């Protein structure tokens, strides 16, 4: 149970509350949801089990595990795209976490309310453009996250997640019920459940859904390998894998049920990009009775969820430094935390300063996010599927993944060996070519 909750704590984060709704808003609502569900079940679950299995079997980190399974080149390098993805995600994850911290501060100081209308929009722009404040918030959240990883992950994370995840779910359900009670909410629900089928035919939708699935569950960054290495017994892995995917998707859906009804009841557009949650949620809190208390609770929990995810992200390079280069945990954590601060500076400032933005170009945050989610993570997933499915023995892999029963073993093995790599190549190539 502790293991499952720790994995869930890593999975649930900004990907669910911040990323899922805005990506869904941009890629056609229900059609995207359907594609996402297919992708996460058909590709995400087998890959997640593959990562767990590699960690459980080798007791190594996200790079070393594949080297142990297959020492030959180029297969032994299969873990590196995941480290690259973790580093690129660390370029912007702390920045968005810093925004959450800033909103928490606003809520705590009772400064959430703004004159009606599009003002929350203006507030978001002003807040993200205040480079110094963002940097300060970013330094604080990174210090906290670095402190947690420096102290050692397992017990701290497990304990925190046990308390927080249920609390988080209760709050989300409450807010979703409130969101649904807003006037005009029906349009938001319609948007979520009425599919624009043409989106299903666009290869780009599939690539975006794949990137979202890998990002939000946390597949392809070596994190699940590291976690798998901690388990004493692999029997429960398939059940845990399925529960984590279901729980993570449930949280993403709840976030949408809060955000889309509110978007429509405020007369705003659902395709707003990365600012969506930050513009809509404060507006919801402003309107509801006792909104300020709810705002404090919500941003606090979101901050903690984001921190727990960031901790597991930092753990990827730290584990590599420790096991490959013999570093001790404290210096490894300090170096990784400092590097994360430095590499996220351009994104933090790029959101706010004109000199880092070219006309008509996406912001640095958008670029980093797209590169990580739609290129590095799918490549990393492909490398994992190929090593597990083609460089490992069927029996050893199925045992390590804890898959039982002849049919289930066949199904999983055929998936990682054939289905997942073939689908990954099709989705990646067609998506990139058409996007
Ligand atoms: N899954 C996290 C989220 O949805 O916010 C992000 C993340 C955390 C990705 C940890 C990868 C990871 F290793």
pLDDT given for residue 163 in this prediction: 76
Interval between CA 19 and ligand 1 midpoint (Å): 11
How many domains are there within the chain? 1
Interval between CA 12 and ligand 1 midpoint (Å): 7
The answer to whether the Cα torsion of 9, 13, 15, 20 is positive or negative is positive
Q: Which atom of ligand 1 is nearest to the CA of 217?
A: 1
**419 secondary structure, DSSP code:** I
Instruction: Residue 386: name the closest of 58, 11, 72, 61 by CA.
Output: 72
In short, whether 96's Cβ falls inside 6 Å of ligand 1 is no
pLDDT given for residue 361 in this prediction: 62
219: left (phi over 0), alpha (psi -120 to 50) or beta: beta
Please write the tens of the pLDDT for every residue from 236-256: 899 999 999 999 999 999 999
CATH of the domain at 218: 1.20.1740
In short, whether 205's Cβ falls inside 6 Å of ligand 1 is no
Average pLDDT over residues 183-194: 86
* Mean pLDDT rounded to a whole number for the chain: 88
pLDDT given for residue 356 in this prediction: 54
Name, in order, each residue with C-beta under 8 angstroms of 366's C-beta and a sequence gap of 6 or more. Answer: 273, 274
Q: Which atom of ligand 1 is nearest to the CA of 223?
A: 13
> How many other CB atoms are there within 10 angstroms of residue 323's CB atom?
17
Question: What is the rounded distance in angstroms from the CA atom of residue 28 to the CA atom of residue 31?
Answer: 6
Q: What is the residue-wise DSSP string for 165-178?
A: HHHHHHHHHHHHHH
Contact assessment for residue 327 and residue 194, using Cβ atoms and an 8 Å cutoff: no
Question: What is the rounded distance in angstroms from the CA atom of residue 104 to the CA atom of residue 21?
Answer: 20
Q: Classify 112 as helix, strand or coil.
A: coil
In short, whether 48's Cβ falls inside 6 Å of ligand 1 is no
Helices 30-39, 185-193: crossing angle, 10 deg rounding: 50
Helices 237-265, 203-217: crossing angle, 10 deg rounding: 120
Contact assessment for residue 133 and residue 139, using Cβ atoms and an 8 Å cutoff: no
Residue range(s) defining the domain that contains residue 109: 2-434
Q: Which atom of ligand 1 is nearest to the CA of 248?
A: 4
In the structure, what pLDDT confidence band is assigned to residue 118 with cuts at 50, 70 and 90? low
In the structure, what pLDDT confidence band is assigned to residue 157 with cuts at 50, 70 and 90? low
Q: Which atom of ligand 1 is nearest to the CA of 224?
A: 13
In the structure, what pLDDT confidence band is assigned to residue 419 with cuts at 50, 70 and 90? very high
Q: Which two three-digit tokens encode residue 179? A: 């969101």
Please write the tens of the pLDDT for every residue from 327-352: 999 999 999 999 999 999 988 887 76
Please write the tens of the pLDDT for every residue from 307-318: 989 988 998 899
Average pLDDT over residues 362-378: 91
- Of all residues in the chain, the percent with pLDDT exceeding 70 is 94
In the structure, what pLDDT confidence band is assigned to residue 358 with cuts at 50, 70 and 90? low
Q: Among 6, 7, 13, say which to mutate for ligand 1: greatest number of ligand atoms within 8 Å of CB.
A: 13
Interval between CA 384 and ligand 1 midpoint (Å): 18
In short, whether 16's Cβ falls inside 6 Å of ligand 1 is yes
Nearest CA owner, ligand 1 atom 13 = 313
pLDDT given for residue 362 in this prediction: 72
In short, whether 223's Cβ falls inside 6 Å of ligand 1 is yes
Q: Which residue has the tokens 């050893």?
A: 396
Q: Which residue has the tokens 């949280």?
A: 251
> How many other CB atoms are there within 10 angstroms of residue 135's CB atom?
17
Nearest CA owner, ligand 1 atom 11 = 218
Residue 73 to residues 83, 383, 422, Cα–Cα distance (Å):
18, 12, 22
Q: Is the peptide bond before 74 cis (omega within 30 degrees of 0)?
A: yes
Q: With a cut of 70, say whether residue 302 has pLDDT above it.
A: yes
Angle made by CA atoms 320, 13, 384, in degrees to the nearest 5: 45
Question: What is the rounded distance in angstroms from the CA atom of residue 400 to the CA atom of residue 48?
Answer: 12
């Amino acid at each position: 149970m502790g293991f499952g909750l720790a994995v869930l704590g890593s999975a649930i984060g900004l990907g669910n509350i911040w990323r899922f709704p805005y990506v869904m808003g941009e890629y056609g609502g229900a059609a995207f949801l359907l594609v996402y569900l297919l992708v996460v079940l058909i590709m995400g679950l087998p890959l997640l089990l593959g990562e767990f299995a590699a960690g459980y079997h080798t007791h190594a980190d996200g790079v070393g595990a594949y080297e142990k399974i297959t020492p030959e080149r180029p297969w032994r390098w299969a873990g590196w795209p995941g480290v690259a993805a973790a580093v690129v995600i660390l370029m912007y994850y702390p920045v968005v976490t810093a925004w959450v911290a800033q909103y928490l501060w606003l809520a705590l100081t009772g400064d959430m309310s703004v004159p009606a209308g599009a003002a929350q929009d203006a507030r978001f722009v002003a807040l993200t453009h205040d480079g110094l404040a963002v940097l300060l918030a970013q330094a604080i959240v990174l210090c906290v996250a670095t402190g947690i990883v420096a102290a050692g992950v397992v017990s701290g994370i497990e304990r925190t997640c046990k308390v927080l995840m249920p609390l988080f779910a209760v709050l989300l359900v409450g807010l979703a019920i409130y969101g649904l009670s807003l006037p005009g909410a029906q349009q938001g629900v319609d948007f979520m459940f009425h599919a624009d089928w043409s989106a299903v035919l666009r290869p780009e939708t599939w690539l975006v859904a794949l990137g979202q699935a890998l990002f939000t569950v946390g597949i392809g960054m070596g994190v699940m390998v590291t976690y798998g290495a901690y388990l004493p017994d692999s029997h429960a892995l398939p059940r845990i894998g399925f529960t984590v995917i279901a729980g993570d998707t449930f949280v993403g859906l709840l976030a949408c049920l809060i955000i889309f009804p509110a978007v429509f009841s405020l007369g705003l557009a659902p395709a707003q990009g990365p600012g969506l949650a930050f513009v809509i949620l404060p507006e919801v809190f402003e309107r509801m009775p006792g909104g300020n208390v709810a705002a404090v609770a919500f941003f606090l929990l979101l901050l903690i969820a984001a921190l727990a995810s960031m901790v597991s992200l930092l753990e990827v390079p730290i584990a590599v430094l420790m096991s490959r280069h013999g570093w001790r945990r404290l210096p490894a954590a300090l170096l990784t935390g400092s590097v994360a601060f430095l590499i996220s500076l351009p994104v933090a400032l790029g959101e706010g300063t004109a000199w880092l933005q070219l006309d008509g170009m996406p912001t640095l945050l958008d670029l980093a996010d797209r590169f990580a989610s739609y290129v590095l993570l799918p490549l990393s997933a492909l490398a994992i599927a190929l090593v597990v499915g083609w460089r490992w023995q069927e029996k050893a892999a199925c045992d390590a993944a804890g898959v039982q029963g002849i049919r289930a073993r066949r199904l999983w093995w055929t998936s990682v060996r054939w289905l997942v790599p073939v689908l990954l190549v099709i989705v990646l190539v067609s998506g990139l070519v058409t996007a």
